[in-house]
Structure 1
Amino acid sequence: MPTSEGIWLRREVAPNEQRTPLVPADAAKLIAEGIPVTVEESPHRAFPADAYAAVGCTVVPGDTWPDAPPTDVVLGLKEPSTAAVELTHRHVLFGHAYKGQVGGPPLLRRFGAGGGTLLDLEYLTDGAGRRVVAFGHWAGYVGAGLAALRHGGLLEAPLRSWTLEGFDALLKESRAGARALVIGARGRSGRGAVAALGVAGATVTAWDIEETGNLDRDALLGHDILVNTVFATEPGTPFLGPDDLADPGRRLSVVSDVTCDVTSECNRLPVYDRVTEWSEPVRRLHDAPPLDLIAIDNLPSLLPRESSTAFSEGLLPHLATVHRGDGIWGRCEEHYHHARRATKDK
């Protein structure tokens, strides 16, 4: 028999957000385990509402999550809309609220006002502190791919979402012998970046902790492309600074910041102050020699079906246990309470 404790998949309101943390095939598996799934209608989601209805989900209008049963867990990717300012449920999403980001305190206040709980997907970790699910591979893949397209003169604005086949076809067309540096190359995003640059025919240098601990700045500036995929949890030595932009010997011409920690104290690329958009994906940081920036904070949405399918597959076994609130979810909740206490102390 179905439990009354369900999953409520809400629509996303962030611009150009076509991803979903739960695809129809995996929703069907939750339903088979007795967990009801409610799905909000969304004109932008990569998977239509009919596909969810076909596997047994209940489909409801968008932004009705404030009326969800109190035992339901509300599932999304980015911050929910202001359909309700006070957040009363347990919400699973990427909050971007614990590392000093600009939007963090207001989001935490919404939870504090409503008595709800943020279960931040970024802090869903195993016993060793490793994230168990992330969009990292496809973020790195797309971020590096866009840099290769820019270097090859094939990046057109405004951006649109691609299929993987279409994106790879462009990458192969962009082959121009670029020298590319990936920082954080051993992580999910870094491995994705290396893979995309390989499709684009670039010569790739892979750096990780050892190389960034004793940064060879001349070597960094000697590449055509820099892709930053480092998931930093504390401040550290910047990879680029204002003096590097003005260096007349700099070969570097394209920077893709996959991490996009621009408003965080952990930012390792303090040479810009706002992300770029699908409408204008590239910003000129310096004119002579030229240096362009790509810093899009929802890169995987440019390959929405592939990235959603991979993420949903990784999240599925944990969604099946979310109502217990122990183990991996208990650790996730403790991160929230720690952040709330820190916010109150300021």
Structure 2
Amino acid sequence: MVAKIAIRREDKNKWERRVPITPKHVKELIAKEGLEVVVQPSKIRAFSDQEFEQAGAIIQEDISQCPVVFAVKEIPEQHFQAKSSYVFFSHVIKGQSYNMNMLKKMMALRCNLFDYEKIENSAGRRLVFFGRYAGLAGMIDTLWSLGKKLQSQQIDSPFNDIKKTVEYTNLDEAQQHLKDIGQLIRDQGVPTSLAPLVVGFAGYGNVSKGAQEIIHLLPVTEIAPGDLAELSENYSRHTIYKVVFKESDMVEPIDQKKSFSLKDYYDSPENYQSCFYQYLPHLSILVNCIFWNDSYPRLITKAQMKVAYADQTKLMVIGDISVDINGAIEFTEKSTSPDNPSFMYDPAAEMLYDDLDHDGIVVMAVDNLPCELPLESSLEFGDALLPFVAEIAKADFSLDFEQLQLSQETKGALILHNGELTPNFRYIEKYL
């Protein structure tokens, strides 16, 4: 019997044009693994129906008879089929309340659920992700936000010509434009009132690496967090200063008699507090790329930002790529969209404005950044996912969980097996 998979049409919003498996990957799965691939038609997908058809896929609306369905975003409850298997970003592993009804529905239908986010190696590092593209797109939108902030202050700068990520035809065009702007900075420098222009990156994972790729299209000088205070005494207008913050820079033990321990921090985050406030006076842009949940201390609170703003901090823009609502950046009270990436936060009044002409800190908070680069992000994601597709498609899910013929990486991503939470995810029961 030929194993069959479906690629679902994304319908969460008009911006979601990504696919988990591209025509290139479909062709390989058919030729090398003997799979049958059904693709739901879409008018907005980054790859056309014709491209999928030419790769050997069957284009049809009805995918209800496909035992395994791949998607990117969450699937509406009415589309789940009994005893079928689904692979997508489910956003349930933190017990997210907005997806618990979806999970309950899948459990009632005895579905199998794999989450890309939990396909990890033995060291716990994710193997299939869009994170780099969140960083790439988020950094472009953050620099666009800087340009808009400067325009509102009637400050002419090279950043004023930067476009939103979605306004570029593709990543290559965006990168070339930023290289051209980088040359202007080398030749003319940034405005005197902005120098030294310092971009701080909170975090150093895949998202941060993507964001740093973009900033390195400009002239960059990297400095350590400990050197920030002295930078104002000796700097150049013809470079951007980059600083990357690790955990030991951002938090400290509440008990001042203890020293920082990375393992202890992740084991017992409640014993730590943020010490990031000390850097705010020195940053022009902060790019937040850290993983956060409510067990961790916030990076910046509203109270801290209010004090820093009153002290005339030079901080102009926060690129909150992680976008945890009221999370690491407490005043990220809402997410934004690709066509309107930023809002203005007035720390003094603790007010948010969609109009960037107000006083305050510009916050870029697009919560679905990789969809702004759908072609490139889908290709790279598909490359990473490809090794796991066939084993999921060919698995016999009637077997007990312990007997499933799946690799360690794939089995570790199985949240539901025949409608039951698997051992590593039984903690989710308390959220249901």
Tell me the TM-score normalised to structure 2 length: 0.71
Q: How does 1:40-79 map to 2 (within 5 A)?
A: 40-61=40-61, 64-65=62-63, 67-69=64-66, 72-79=67-74
* Secondary structure of 1:21's aligned partner: coil
CA RMSD in angstroms comes to 2.5
Indicate conservation of the 8 Å contact 2:95/2:428, yes or no.
no
1:233 shift after superposition: 5.8
* Secondary structure of 2:414's aligned partner: helix
Q: Which runs of 5+ in 1 are unaligned?
A: none
Q: Distance in 2 between matches of 1:262 and 1:276?
A: 11
Check 1:287–1:170 CA distance in 2 against 1; reply closer, same or farther (3 A cut). farther
Q: Distance in 2 between matches of 1:274 and 1:162?
A: 27
Question: Cα deviation per residue 1:167-203 (whole Å; 9 max; x = unaligned)?
Answer: 1234345556531111112x11111111111114432
1:343 shift after superposition: 3.3
* Secondary structure of 2:134's aligned partner: helix
Q: Distance in 2 between matches of 1:161 and 1:105?
A: 37
Q: Distance in 2 between matches of 1:192 and 1:105?
A: 31
Q: Distance in 1 between matches of 2:285 and 2:74?
A: 32
1:296 corresponds in structure 2 to 366
Question: Cα deviation per residue 1:36-62 (whole Å; 9 max; x = unaligned)?
Answer: 11111111110101111111111112x
Q: 2:390 aligns with which of 320, 327, 337?
A: 320
* Secondary structure of 1:236's aligned partner: coil
Check 1:158–1:25 CA distance in 2 against 1; reply closer, same or farther (3 A cut). closer
* Secondary structure of 1:153's aligned partner: helix
Of 143-152 and 309-318, deviating more is 143-152
Q: 1:131 aligns with which of 104, 118, 126?
A: 126
Q: Distance in 1 between matches of 2:7 and 2:363?
A: 34
Of 173-182 and 12-21, deviating more is 173-182
Q: 1:286 aligns with which of 334, 346, 349?
A: 346
Q: Distance in 2 between matches of 1:197 and 1:252?
A: 17
One-letter amino acid matched to 2:339: S
Are 2:18 and 1:19 aligned?
yes
Q: Distance in 1 between matches of 2:410 and 2:114?
A: 7
Identical counterparts, % of pairs: 24
Indicate conservation of the 8 Å contact 2:305/2:347, yes or no.
no
Provide the aligned length of Structure 1 versus Structure 2.
335
Q: Distance in 2 between matches of 1:125 and 1:95?
A: 16
Q: Which runs of 5+ in 2 are unaligned?
A: 147-158, 191-196, 220-239, 253-274, 349-358, 396-403
Of 320-329 and 87-96, deviating more is 320-329
1:165 shift after superposition: 1.9
Q: How does 1:223-302 map to 2 (within 5 A)?
A: 223-232=283-292, 235-246=295-306, 247=308, 248=310, 249-262=312-325, 267-286=327-346, 290-302=360-372
Indicate conservation of the 8 Å contact 1:148/1:174, yes or no.
no
Query: Which of 1 and 2 has greater Rg?
Result: 2
Q: Distance in 2 between matches of 1:100 and 1:342?
A: 6
Of 155-164 and 289-298, deviating more is 155-164
Q: Distance in 1 between matches of 2:94 and 2:75?
A: 19
* Secondary structure of 1:12's aligned partner: coil
1:104 shift after superposition: 2.4
Are 2:222 and 1:184 aligned?
no
Indicate conservation of the 8 Å contact 1:94/1:121, yes or no.
yes
